[in-house]
Amino acid sequence: MTRRWGEVVWGEMWEGAIALSRERLVGRGCYNAGLMLMKRIIPCLDVHEGRVVKGVNFLNLRDAGDPVEIARLYDEAGADELVFLDITASHEGRDITLDMVGRVAEQCFMPFTVGGGIRSIDDVTRLIQAGAEKVSINTAAVIDPDIVAQTAKRFGRCATVVNIDPKRVTAQDFIEHFKESGREVPSEGGWRMADGGWLPTEALSDPSAIAHPPSAMLFEVHTHGGRKPTGLEAMAYANRVVELGAGEIILTSMDADGTKDGYDIEITGTVADAVDVPVVASGGCGSPAHMCEVFEKTRADAVLAASIFHYGEYTIAQTKQTLADAGVAVRLAV
């Protein structure tokens, strides 16, 4: 039977794969609040014109570039969800990606999110209609935050994910980026520093108002893979998109991404404590031990990982068993 968006038996909730904390989601209507808290393990795949462009080391895989086949294998392996990151630039490529989403929805029963290249509510609508459970909005939400509200209004909070890419910058650099962005001065009167201190808006005109050492950092939201600063402080921005209707945040630390040295505990903990929606930790995973650490030290609800699964360093089953042995509640394969 083809699974379509919205045709979910809430009590079963895909066998609990995306059950989340009761205190966060009671009253939101997204999930069954009676389900046990489960941490989710989510592989992420880069897709270009409907084909997976990062290798996946699965035995007997017939076509390493076929997202439907890969989704099936991850489903069988016990992954809780998948994220497809569409890196296609052309409109023609996006049509191919829509076809991919439709085929995955028709043949796989695991929840999946599609992100990358979303520029308008029309893009969101096409992806949801093709069969994606959720869409992950990144740059478009920075340029025009109203797309978050539009998506939540049309498809609900559960389908509305915002991907935030924070990076540490000095207070002085942040001030320069903020001035260049032309953004309105925040009504709060300043920005939160990474160390919990405060950078007052007076620093915009008086550098001496920066009562921190030159090495003091802020978490600034970036786009374009961490290359483009936005003048937005990450915690304030996270709160803002949640106010607009985001039902989940994928938080990808640009400092940790690709290092395989572990998730960024500091920024993950800061954002997860600040918002009342699920936060998915992303960037830096090199082993299941790193997942245990971020679950132990922060309120992250899920983790995103790529190469440790794609290249066969660890299986989903091994990873979940390691987490279960450490006392983390996960959905184990039957």
Considering 46, 66, 95, 144, which one is annotated as catalytic? 46
Task: Spell 51-64 as b/e; 16+ CB within 10 A means b.
Answer: bbebebebeeeeeb
Catalytic annotation, pick one of 75, 80, 86, 165: 165
Q: Specify whether 123 is catalytic.
A: no
Please indicate whether residue 80 is annotated as part of the active site.
no
Distance between CA 264 and CA 271 in Å, rounded? 11
Contact residues for 249 (Cβ-Cβ < 8 A; gap 6+): 161, 162, 163, 164, 238, 241, 242, 271, 275, 277, 278, 279, 280
- Cα Rg, the chain, nearest whole Å: 20
Cα–Cα distance, 317 to 323 (Å, whole number): 10
- Quickly tell me which residue has 């790529």 as its tokens: 306
Single-letter residue type at 224: H
Q: Which residues are catalytic?
A: 46, 165
